[in-house]
Structure 1
Amino acid sequence: MTQGRSIRLFLVDGAPNGLLSAEIMNWTGHVLTGPRSKLSELVPRPEVGRTGIYFLVGPDPDNSFRSLVYIGESDDVGKRLKQHNRPEGQGGKDFWEKVCLVTSKDQNLTKAHVKHLESLLIQNARDVARCTLVNGTAHDYINLPEADLADMAFFLEQIRTVLPVLGFDFLRDSTRPASQPKTQPAEPQESPYFVLELPKHNIKARGQEVDGEFFVLQGSLAREEWVGTDRGYKTLFNQLLEDRILIPTDSGLTTFTADQAFSSPSGAAAVISGRSANGRTQWAVEGTGKTYGDWQDEQVSASTGQGLD
């Protein structure tokens, strides 16, 4: 079973929408984040003048389901942030609304370390594909001793752990974890397989809930076009077509070219159905006919030692 982690969060100015710092037990890294409107309060802080990695995050006007992200490094993050705060025509960047920076409490991060981290983070963000990167081509930087490479690999994993806790999901893995071998106990967050069938349209899809997300599995079928109202998941449906996660088939439907994560079973059901849908009733445990909602109720009751009413 995956071990728990302790993350210490501190509201620097006591406000939930102000500056926020985060630390993980037994990690030398320190994370500080806040809105661009608080930049005048963030820049004077001593940790901001250290060597580190930073993320500029803002909305993507062309895709409401993703963020625009710029990943950078500097031996004086505060100075670099002041440059990015200038108007676009003066070398700044207009798109960002939030900033997140990662430095080291023991100040042992060097310029070589953060250059290496920057290249890894840019490549990781591209592989995960949860955001639109503003960066140009990432340059590989591997000019580090073997021990330092191992330290930076650990540092990277801590960054990927803490950022989603702070609301930054663009580094969180979007692929469905492989199933546990039968000789090992399954992770408690891994669900059975679910199916959704629309016989009228010859549609069948399979899904699984893992780590709080609902994955529609590669090869599942969906409607060819959105037929519901302009509200709901129409934008996401069209975005999946544009990204070629959904591609047309010869039968007049579309198929998923890869496992795709959704925030809820209803979101997944809506994309498959081409209209708003209740995923709690439309998804059923494979081979049983038990709805997702009934299955989830059983899990909650079993965890408290109580039966269903």
Structure 2
Amino acid sequence: MTQGHSIRLFLVDGTPNGLLTSEIMNWTGHVLTGPRSKLSELVQRPECGRTGIYFLVGPDPENSLRPLVYIGESDDVGTRLKQHNRPEDKGGKDFWEKVCLVTSKDQNLTKAHVKYLESLLIQSAGQIGRCKLINGTAHEYINLPESDRADMAFFMEQIRTVLPVLGLDFLRETSRPSREPEATTAAEPEASPRFTLEVPRHGIRATGQEIDGEFYVFKGSLARGSWVGTERGYQSLYNQLCEDGALVVGSEGCRVFSEDQSFSSPSAAAAVVSGRSANGRISWKAEDSGLTYGDWQDQQVSAAAAQSEEMEPT
């Protein structure tokens, strides 16, 4: 089982949309985040005068699924953020709406450390593919001693743990569903059964699985050749997947998933497969039992509740 973490969050100005600090027990790192509208307050914080890593995050007007992200480093993060806040024609960056900076409470991060971290983070974000990087190609910094590289690898893992808690998902690993039931080991989270969704009238058959809170549709699954539902709901998601090449034109008027695709819910997945709004809780059916997704989930909740009752002292 994965070990739990204790993360401390502090609302600096007492509001959920203001400045926020975050720390993990027994980690020397310190995270400060906030909206661009609070930059004048953020740069006055002592953390901004330290050496650190920072992330600029904003929406991509050409892609609703993934944000734009810039990853940088500096000996004086506050000064660098002021530069990025200038108009674009004066060397600044216009796209970002949120900033997150990571420094060290013991101030032991050096310029070499953050350059190495920056390289690792850019490579990781690019491989994961949950965002569009503004940086381009990452530079490789390999002049750190072996012990420092190990320390930075641990530091990076803590960053990847805390950022999703702050709503920044671009460094979160994309879990892949197990294609075969026996592939799951005792150390891994128990995966859901494989589900299928069929629309016989249009020759559509898709398979998927839920893992780590996301619903995946497998590569090779079929989807409706075009969106036929109302112009709302998941139409923009369907169109975006077509534009990104995740849904490619197949035979007989269908589209084909070119890769395993994650969705936020079974209903989002069902809508894209069906080309119209759909209730994923009843559309997806388990291959082994024939239960709908909703019935399977209810069965899991009931079993967990029964087990909890058995463990209660009499």
Same fold (TM over 0.5): yes
CA displacement 1:203-226 (0-9 Å, x = unmatched): 111111111111111111111111
> How many corresponding residue pairs?
307
One-letter amino acid of the structure 2 residue matched with residue 13 of structure 1:
D
Output the TM-score relative to the length of structure 2.
0.93
CA distance, structure 2, for counterparts of residue 123 and residue 229 of structure 1: 40
Q: Could you tell me whether the CA contact under 8 Å between 1:233 and 1:271 is conserved in 2? A: yes
Cα pair distance change 1:184/1:133, threshold 3 Å = closer
Cα pair distance change 1:196/1:184, threshold 3 Å = same
Whether 2:246 is the aligned partner of 1:250: answer no
CA displacement 1:236-288 (0-9 Å, x = unmatched): 11111121111122332111121111000000001101111100000011132
The match for 2:27 is: 27
SS of equivalent residue, structure 2 residue 38: helix
SS of equivalent residue, structure 2 residue 41: helix
* Residue range with higher mean Cα deviation, 80-89 or 232-241: 232-241
One-letter amino acid of the structure 1 residue matched with residue 5 of structure 2:
R
CA displacement 1:93-132 (0-9 Å, x = unmatched): 1111110000111111111111111111111111111112
Q: Could you tell me whether the CA contact under 8 Å between 1:218 and 1:257 is conserved in 2? A: yes
The alpha carbon displacement at 1:185 in A equals 2.8
CA displacement 1:135-165 (0-9 Å, x = unmatched): 1322111221111111111111111111000
The alpha carbon displacement at 1:34 in A equals 0.4
Q: Could you tell me whether the CA contact under 8 Å between 1:189 and 1:211 is conserved in 2? A: no
The alpha carbon displacement at 1:72 in A equals 0.6
Cα pair distance change 1:143/1:85, threshold 3 Å = same
The match for 1:54 is: 54
Gaps of 5+ in 2: 308-314
The match for 1:167 is: 167
The match for 1:227 is: 228
CA distance, structure 2, for counterparts of residue 131 and residue 44 of structure 1: 29
Alignment of 1:1-309 (within 5 A): 1-176=1-176, 178=178, 182=182, 184-185=185-186, 187-188=188-189, 190-305=191-306
CA distance, structure 1, for counterparts of residue 161 and residue 187 of structure 2: 22
One-letter amino acid of the structure 2 residue matched with residue 57 of structure 1:
V
CA distance, structure 2, for counterparts of residue 258 and residue 184 of structure 1: 24
CA distance, structure 2, for counterparts of residue 264 and residue 211 of structure 1: 11
CA distance, structure 2, for counterparts of residue 269 and residue 290 of structure 1: 16
SS of equivalent residue, structure 1 residue 143: coil
SS of equivalent residue, structure 1 residue 225: coil
Cα pair distance change 1:61/1:10, threshold 3 Å = same
SS of equivalent residue, structure 2 residue 173: coil
One-letter amino acid of the structure 1 residue matched with residue 209 of structure 2:
Q
SS of equivalent residue, structure 2 residue 198: strand
The alpha carbon displacement at 1:229 in A equals 1.5
CA distance, structure 2, for counterparts of residue 221 and residue 26 of structure 1: 48
SS of equivalent residue, structure 1 residue 204: strand
The alpha carbon displacement at 1:200 in A equals 1.0
One-letter amino acid of the structure 2 residue matched with residue 190 of structure 1:
A
Deviation beyond 6 Å, 4+ runs, structure 1: none
The alpha carbon displacement at 1:190 in A equals 2.1
CA distance, structure 2, for counterparts of residue 129 and residue 143 of structure 1: 27
CA distance, structure 2, for counterparts of residue 113 and residue 180 of structure 1: 41
Alpha-carbon RMSD across the aligned residues, in angstroms, is: 1.8
Q: Could you tell me whether the CA contact under 8 Å between 2:177 and 2:209 is conserved in 1? A: no
One-letter amino acid of the structure 2 residue matched with residue 146 of structure 1:
E
Q: Identity over the aligned pairs, expressed in percent? A: 74
Q: Could you tell me whether the CA contact under 8 Å between 2:175 and 2:211 is conserved in 1? A: no
Q: Could you tell me whether the CA contact under 8 Å between 2:224 and 2:254 is conserved in 1? A: yes
CA displacement 1:148-185 (0-9 Å, x = unmatched): 11111111111111100000011112241557984843
CA distance, structure 2, for counterparts of residue 205 and residue 297 of structure 1: 22
CA distance, structure 1, for counterparts of residue 110 and residue 202 of structure 2: 58
The alpha carbon displacement at 1:188 in A equals 4.5
One-letter amino acid of the structure 2 residue matched with residue 122 of structure 1:
I
SS of equivalent residue, structure 2 residue 277: coil
